[in-house]
Structure 1
Amino acid sequence: MSLRKGLVIGILAVVLSCISAFFGAIGGGLFVLNQTSKNNSSTEPILDTQIPTASILNFSQTDIQTSITQAVEKVSPAVVTVVGTIPGQMTFFGKAPDETVSGSGVIISKEGHIVTNYHVVEGTSDIYVILSNGEQVKANLINADIYADLAVLKAEGQMPAVAIFGDSDRLNPGETVIAIGSPLGEFRNTVTVGVISATGRVLDTGKGYAMEDLIQTDAAINQGNSGGPLVNLNGEIVGINTLIVRGGMGTTTVAEGLGFAIPSNTVRLISEQIITRGYFARPYLGITWQGINPTIARRYQLPVEWGAYVTSVEPGSPADRGGIKRGDIIVQIGDLEINQQRSYLNALFAQQPGDTVTIKIYRQRKIFELNVTLGTSR
């Protein structure tokens, strides 16, 4: 055999061996794959572990309700915006334009009686209220109690809701309360939440008397909130928001969270009398007077530092019938002494119309006690 033939035969043998190996590998792979498929079709698992699958997130819509939201839902439909017009005054240059003022109020009867602050409607000629649904209805002023800063209106038409009174005597510092009103007259039925900071607060009005037994709260109260309700978590009126204090007299210190409300028990007493009688009865004495303080007492060398100097007595009045004269200084009414914490009016208003009380006076530097039967003011 020649060398050339030997090489050809060797190459052919190698090629045949490769082809055999190739087809053998394919056949073996198919056999293994076939056996694996058979085993996977068995009901018995091969491994204890399972291949993790993608997590499925389930969503549900939950109606979240709290005591606060429930109280707001209960009272908010009864809260109104009070808008009044103050007629323009005549000036040297002619009549000034009318002024529009606004505040808040709350419906307290299905007949349309609304309670608000007196200072909201003071001096107004035309009044209308904006209901919670945006409807505007005309309202009339029935009457007001200036000293408590309360007024009762009567609105026309059907009322969307009526709020109920709670017992303000049961309030405790730290209790959660809600203020609802129309700050700036634009943001109708705004809700703010705070706590009762204190009860029984006394604030001097600068008008010869103090507002007593006020509720202090840190719930945000802004201009326009006046007359709106302060509400407890039962959805009951516990106060009528009346004023805020930003800072003390003669100081640049600015305070926040100092809001004050008239207790609901006072509001209910006054509003019910105005609705049934047309007025709220306060005791009447029938004098004009000037308050005395230590500065005035030193200047005029008066015998007392606190009291009410009688400047005139109305003829036929309770004071006249009781023997009070011009120049007398009233220092005590009943059991209540006039002092730094209690003015003449506060001592008088603590009495009841028709009561006969002992009034202690200084006359020519001598003390006298007079029994006076108080009248009724309207």
Structure 2
Amino acid sequence: MSTNRLLVALLILVIAFVSACAGGWLGSFLVLRAVESGRVTLNLPQPSSTPALPTPAAFDRSPQPLDLAEAQSRIIQTVQKVSPAVVTVVGVIPGQMTFFGPTGDQTVSGSGVFISPDGYLLTNQHVVEDVEEVNVILSDGSQQAAQVIGTDIYADLAVLKIDSSPPAVAELGNSDLVTPGEMVIAIGSPLGDFRNTVTLGVISATGRSIDTGQGYQIENLIQTDAAINQGNSGGPLVNLDGQVIGINTLIVRSTGSGAIAEGLGFAIPINTAREVAEQIIQKGYVARPYLGIRWQLVTPRVAAIYNLGVEWGVYITQVFADSPASKAGLRRGDILVQIGEVKLDEDHSYINALYRYQPGDKIAVVVWRDGRLLTVQVQLEEVPRQ
């Protein structure tokens, strides 16, 4: 075919394509105008009784309708039920004398929740640490003096008490029943100023552990994406049944590598908080098991430097006289590598492993001595009170 004939054929094809597009557009435009003016009525085909694709039921799925009005109503009811039992905790840390002169008093704040009609309330230990004077601001804005009954640094919990009857007492739930995905509400006083702030989220995970950097971890925490900020510490985490399932304690905003995180809040399970509170109310403190040693942490790096023979454990630097360790025959220079069923490593610290037990429990511990492992029976005692 010659070049001229080829060009003519291509030209004809282009004209035909443009004409078809224009005609289709013009036809659609005229039909649309006719429908809008009411001159033409479209009879759309009705769906057949047998759809082309199977319905959700054919996949054995039974979706439940989401009633947003009901969900909102439950949230409002929960807030109205629990908020009167939530307080703002305000503490005063006295100033200190420095080289440059005295420093002024420091005011710290957090949140708390009444757990007893006798006026007992729960908050975090770090909220009232080193405070000399504590007051609580009730939900109606009134203020009352509070007494610190006792604290437990390892659970980061404290029990306070006011002399009068509280305006409301929160219902405590069962944190063992908490399920990831469950909707929850956090109530507290972020920054100390925005009293009884309500935030909504879900349970992100359970059983989390956070390293305190002080030789132990806070274990079995509830993770939530409900907004928790400075000042929320000690406030309740509540389910939609209006039950407290946790005590908000900390947030994680970044990692050691500098990575930024959002929505990482953590709460102490209320079952743990209940046990700690009961001991503090009864005795003023939490009875912890006592072994009676001073120790240094052994890591793979330390073990390699000193050729210790084991990678993880605690090196016993002192055994206290008349202590459970002394009575069991533990010595200075032993490396404790296992407590009960728990082998000490990066994720299982000496303190956490020991505190799984109670004073009076008889347990087996494993130590590295003279190049071999040795199992020793120890009967734990209560930490001596000073």
Normalised by the shorter chain, which TM-score bucket?
Answer: 0.7 to 0.9
Larger Rg over CA atoms: 1
Deviation larger for 210-219 or 91-100:
91-100
- 185, 190, 200: which one pairs with 2:192? 185
Deviation larger for 221-230 or 80-89:
80-89
Task: Please report how far the alpha carbon of residue 64 of structure 1 lies from its aligned counterpart in structure 2 after TM superposition.
Answer: 10
User: 1: distance between equivalents of 2:325 and 2:311?
Assistant: 22
User: 2: distance between equivalents of 1:63 and 1:221?
Assistant: 25
Tell me what 1:158 maps to.
165
Task: Please report how far the alpha carbon of residue 366 of structure 1 lies from its aligned counterpart in structure 2 after TM superposition.
Answer: 2.1
Deviation larger for 266-275 or 358-367:
358-367
Task: Please report how far the alpha carbon of residue 315 of structure 1 lies from its aligned counterpart in structure 2 after TM superposition.
Answer: 1.2
Tell me what 1:274 maps to.
280
**1:126-275, aligned counterparts within 5 Å?**
126-251=133-258, 253-275=259-281
Q: 1:103 to 1:335 in 2, by over 3 A?
A: same
1:328 aligns with 2:331: no
Task: Please report how far the alpha carbon of residue 309 of structure 1 lies from its aligned counterpart in structure 2 after TM superposition.
Answer: 1.1
Task: Please report how far the alpha carbon of residue 132 of structure 1 lies from its aligned counterpart in structure 2 after TM superposition.
Answer: 0.7
**1:287-366, aligned counterparts within 5 Å?**
287-366=293-372
Task: Please report how far the alpha carbon of residue 365 of structure 1 lies from its aligned counterpart in structure 2 after TM superposition.
Answer: 2.2
User: 1: distance between equivalents of 2:267 and 2:216?
Assistant: 17
Task: Please report how far the alpha carbon of residue 156 of structure 1 lies from its aligned counterpart in structure 2 after TM superposition.
Answer: 2.2
Unmatched 5+ stretches in structure 2? 1-68
**Aligned Cα root-mean-square deviation (Å):** 1.5
Unmatched 5+ stretches in structure 1? 1-61
User: 2: distance between equivalents of 1:77 and 1:183?
Assistant: 17
- 76, 83, 104: which one pairs with 2:111? 104
SS in 2 for 1:237: strand
Identical pairs, percent: 60
TM-score, normalised with respect to structure 2: 0.80
TM-score, normalised with respect to structure 1: 0.81
User: 2: distance between equivalents of 1:366 and 1:113?
Assistant: 51
Q: How many residues align?
A: 316
Tell me what 1:123 maps to.
130
Q: 1:322 to 1:76 in 2, by over 3 A?
A: same
- Deviation string 1:64-85 (CA, Å, 9 cap, x unpaired) is 9611111111110000001111
Task: Please report how far the alpha carbon of residue 239 of structure 1 lies from its aligned counterpart in structure 2 after TM superposition.
Answer: 0.3
Deviation larger for 115-124 or 276-285:
276-285
Which residue type is aligned with residue 89 of structure 2?
Answer: V
**1:16-27, aligned counterparts within 5 Å?**
none
Q: 1:137 to 1:238 in 2, by over 3 A?
A: same
SS in 1 for 2:172: coil
Q: 1:263 to 1:275 in 2, by over 3 A?
A: same
SS in 2 for 1:75: helix
User: 1: distance between equivalents of 2:70 and 2:292?
Assistant: 61
Tell me what 1:79 maps to.
86
Task: Please report how far the alpha carbon of residue 212 of structure 1 lies from its aligned counterpart in structure 2 after TM superposition.
Answer: 0.8
Tell me what 1:51 maps to.
none
- Deviation string 1:180-236 (CA, Å, 9 cap, x unpaired) is 000000000000000000000111111101111100000000000000000000111
Which residue type is aligned with residue 263 of structure 2?
Answer: G
Which residue type is aligned with residue 362 of structure 2?
Answer: T
SS in 1 for 2:279: helix
Tell me what 2:10 maps to.
none
Task: Please report how far the alpha carbon of residue 250 of structure 1 lies from its aligned counterpart in structure 2 after TM superposition.
Answer: 2.3
User: 2: distance between equivalents of 1:85 and 1:300?
Assistant: 46
Task: Please report how far the alpha carbon of residue 107 of structure 1 lies from its aligned counterpart in structure 2 after TM superposition.
Answer: 0.5
Task: Please report how far the alpha carbon of residue 313 of structure 1 lies from its aligned counterpart in structure 2 after TM superposition.
Answer: 1.6
Tell me what 2:43 maps to.
none
Which residue type is aligned with residue 235 of structure 2?
Answer: G
SS in 2 for 1:66: helix
SS in 2 for 1:120: helix
User: 2: distance between equivalents of 1:285 and 1:166?
Assistant: 34
Deviation larger for 235-244 or 294-303:
294-303
Tell me what 2:9 maps to.
none
Which residue type is aligned with residue 217 of structure 2?
Answer: A
